[in-house]
Amino acid sequence: MANTSDQKIPLLPNPLAPEVFAAKAAGFFLLNGNIVITLESARPEYSEGPTLNRVVVGRVLMPVQGAQNLVVALNDFLAKHSLDPSSAIKSGATSN
């Protein structure tokens, strides 16, 4: 079987693919060589007056290599838009 990383595999567009808005990554977990990223967002609840709750809105499960590639690509994208994480850390940003 050929290694798929050696081949250019076309990306097929899917206009029906689900889209999730997440305000934060609630946490990360290493499970059997995969990284699990739990995503969260704030949601209002009104049954006993207005309160705000943190709600899990999704999970992303990626092999370690895919997660590493995501980090590199996201860092590159942010740097190209003057939003790189090293600048944010110097300005006082923290993880969660």
Measured between alpha carbons, how far apart are the two ends of the chain, in Å? 42
Kindly indicate the confidence band of residue 3, based on its pLDDT and cuts at 50, 70 and 90.
low
The reply to whether 2 falls in a domain is no
Give 9-23 pLDDT, tens digit per residue.
Answer: 999 999 999 999 999
Q: How many domains does the chain have?
A: 1
Alpha-carbon gap, residue 37 to 16, rounded angstroms: 23
The reply to whether 8 falls in a domain is no
- At 86 the pLDDT is 78
Phi, psi for 78 (deg, rounded to 5): -65, -40
CB 62 within 8 A of CB 68: no
The reply to whether 57 falls in a domain is yes
Question: Which residues span the domain enclosing 45?
Answer: 22-90
Give 25-80 pLDDT, tens digit per residue.
Answer: 999 999 999 999 999 999 999 988 889 999 999 999 999 999 999 999 999 999 99
The reply to whether 69 falls in a domain is yes
pTM of the model: 0.76
Distances (CA, A) of 23 to 26, 41, 50, 64: 9, 5, 19, 23
Question: Which residues is 62 bridged to in the sheet?
Answer: 35
The reply to whether 58 falls in a domain is yes
Alpha-carbon gap, residue 91 to 96, rounded angstroms: 15
